[in-house]
């Protein structure tokens, strides 16, 4: 089983430690390399972070092998892979599937099935899910194959270099073609699951674009500018347009058996190559049948 590694070329003189920092490798990652069985070499020779670099030096960082969490059972299942390389796995999650196991659904989750994929392909990684979706929500999920890659993706999200667009069906007739919902979100005092808009909550912002109005509902596109738990669901309920099928936040299940929300597009920068990536996922049949 080959460990994950990254290769760099020094552009100027300086300590290796400074170059690694500039390449986005955190102190925590360096500690895991040093004490967890990893290795750093310059021109093929193992060195410490105090090694002086010259322009053109070839630096290789070999990351420690990772093990799957003991509580996660690898399971066979359907896995729709949109993109995969040594660093990333982008998959298209169906509705009514947990992203990770829960007490109510300990098996059959996306994480269980990805764990089996890693096992069968000898990928030495545990699960690093960068963009988690609710059980009912379908669409694109981004998974990192290494702790360092997960760290790089987290930075992208903080710097708003990763973008997700959703499509949804909401109750009522949305009046405006484009608008932004800016309202802080926090946990509801009476629930460990439910969230609500509240003054002491975390800043949250969702952009809304109207696609079409129907007699009983509206078809909208949504862009997350922050990533709070249940953000889309809470924000839409807050403006009295809850998701169709989202009975936790005031929606009805008369038209569809799950919340009508689909992660349709994912844009990001590849954390290793720097390439701009864009992925798309077709809407699910249950939502399409209502739109048609």
| Residues that are catalytic | 134
- State whether the Cα torsion 179-191-259-267 is positive or negative: positive
In the 8-state DSSP scheme, what is residue 230?
T
In the 8-state DSSP scheme, what is residue 101?
-
Contact 196, 188 (CB under 8 A): yes
- Cα–Cα dist 181/176, whole Å: 12
Q: Extract the tokens encoding 209.
A: 């674009």
Show the DSSP H helices in the chain as ranges: 16-22, 27-35, 110-120, 147-158, 231-238, 285-291
For the chain, how many residues are written? 292
């Amino acid at each position: 089983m080959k460990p994950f590694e990254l290769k760099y070329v020094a552009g100027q003189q300086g300590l290796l430690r400074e170059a690694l920092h500039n390449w986005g490798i955190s102190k925590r990652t360096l500690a895991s390399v040093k004490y967890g069985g990893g290795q750093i070499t310059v021109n093929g020779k193992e060195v410490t972070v105090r090694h002086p670099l010259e322009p053109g030096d070839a630096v290789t960082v070999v990351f420690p092998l990772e093990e799957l969490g003991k509580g996660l059972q690898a399971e066979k299942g359907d896995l729709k892979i949109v993109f995969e390389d040594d660093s990333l796995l982008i998959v298209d999650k169906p509705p009514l599937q947990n992203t990770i196991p829960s007490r109510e659904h300990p098996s059959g989750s996306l994480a269980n099935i990805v764990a089996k994929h890693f096992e069968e392909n000898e990928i030495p990684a545990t699960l690093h899910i960068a963009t988690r979706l609710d059980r009912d929500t379908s669409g694109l999920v981004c998974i990192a194959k290494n702790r360092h890659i997960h760290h790089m993706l987290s930075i992208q999200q903080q710097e708003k270099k990763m973008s997700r667009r959703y499509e949804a069906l909401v109750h009522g007739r949305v009046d405006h073609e484009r608008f932004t919902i800016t309202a802080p979100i926090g946990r509801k005092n009476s629930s460990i699951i439910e969230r609500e808009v509240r003054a002491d909550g975390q800043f949250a912002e969702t952009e809304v674009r109207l696609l079409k109005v129907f007699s009983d509902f509206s078809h909208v596109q949504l862009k997350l500018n922050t990533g709070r738990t249940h953000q889309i669901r809470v924000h839409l309920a807050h403006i009295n347009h809850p998701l169709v099928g989202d009975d936790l936040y005031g929606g009805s299940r008369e038209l569809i058996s799950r919340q009508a929300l689909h992660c349709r597009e994912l844009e990001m920068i590849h954390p290793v190559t720097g390439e701009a990536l864009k992925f798309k996922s077709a809407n699910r049949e249950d939502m399409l049948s209502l739109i048609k």
